[in-house]
Amino acid sequence: MKRALVGAVMAAAMVVPASVAVATPGKNPVQPIVDAGQAPGALAAIRRDGNERWYAAGKAVPVNGRVRIGSNTKAFVSVVVLQLVAEGKVELDGPAQRYVPAIKDKRITVRQLLQHTSGLPEYTDKLGLERIQEVRDRYFRPHDLLDTAMAHPAQFEPGTKFKYTNTNYVVAGLLVQSVTGRPVEEQITDRVIKRLGLRDTYWPAEGEQGLRGKHPRGYSLTDETDPKSPVIDITEMDPSWGWAAGQLVASPADLVAFYRQLPALLPPAQLAEMRKTVTTDEPDVRYGLGLVSQDLSCGGVYWGHSGGIHGYATLAGATDNGRAAAVAQTALPGLTGDPQGEIKLVKGVIDKALC
């Protein structure tokens, strides 16, 4: 889908807190991603045995820079919904229509939204996002996204299969707003970001197209349907089309902190519900409620999520023994035409870090 940028690559580093170490030459796990031409830049944060290290590779890529984290946003939204369940304000197996009347099928439950088993139609493939240059400045309202989806038939009967669908989390975001009477971004900020002290994580304001603070540039094909189309800098864009399905910004270290401390955000009963999984198209991956269970080569699993949005791709998660890792790249997989090769490299970095 995508091709490599022309230009030299180099390691990047900067001063970091004393409790965190920067990689020494020859020991940078994300350098192979850049060296193989799979992405213009890559970043990582790895925590194990109480020690955390930050890495960066590529031209002008700051260590622990902020990136758009795409669908990792879903894990944040799911935590908020499950907190509302714990507070008795939302019924997990109750009809989503109770909270979001635009959902006409009364059989669709809140659980099915969070687990991608609702059958709701997808909206992202109907916005012209494959030619991002044409819509990068457009602001989408949440109900625009839902209306786009609901103009099409359901993908399947509710609860009969798994199909990853961003519409589910647009509805989940609207549910949060309906129940609390407050914007979903405010609820995420108060209930998750501030509670965990995530200093680099934020929800871009309405109309905000740039990234705050230190960050690497992000790149994309002008036409994702044409792998030979020109590569552009897509760092500045309106991310509103992702909304509660993918609008957040964070650093690798904040993703590590989030997934490592996620269990502390929920009562045991709701954490157990979050970890009840269904099978997916990948044999080593199962999906819970906004949380993915990924098998490790050394045995066991880690809990996390991936994210992809124009300019950036992320994968992050944590094990129950306190190890955690996050990797970010400055382009979606496939800029070079080998998306599976890039995904394999990134998953390998996470696997090695957590084993």
Annotation says 71 is catalytic: yes
Residue 221, SS3 per DSSP: strand
Ramachandran assignment for 7, one of left (phi > 0), alpha (psi -120 to 50 degrees), beta (any other): left
Q: Provide the 8-state DSSP code for 331.
A: B
* CA distance linking residue 320 with residue 243, whole number of Å: 30
Close Cβ partners of 331 (under 8 Å, ≥ 6 residues apart): 2, 39, 40, 218, 219, 220, 311, 312, 313
Instruction: List strands edge to edge, sheet with 312-318.
Output: 20-22, 51-58, 41-48, 324-329, 312-318, 301-309, 292-295, 285-287, 278-279
CB of 336 within 8 A of CB of 3?
Answer: yes
φ/ψ of residue 146, rounded to 5: -65, -40
Annotated catalytic residue within 71, 229, 293, 306: 71
Question: What positions carry a catalytic annotation?
Answer: 71
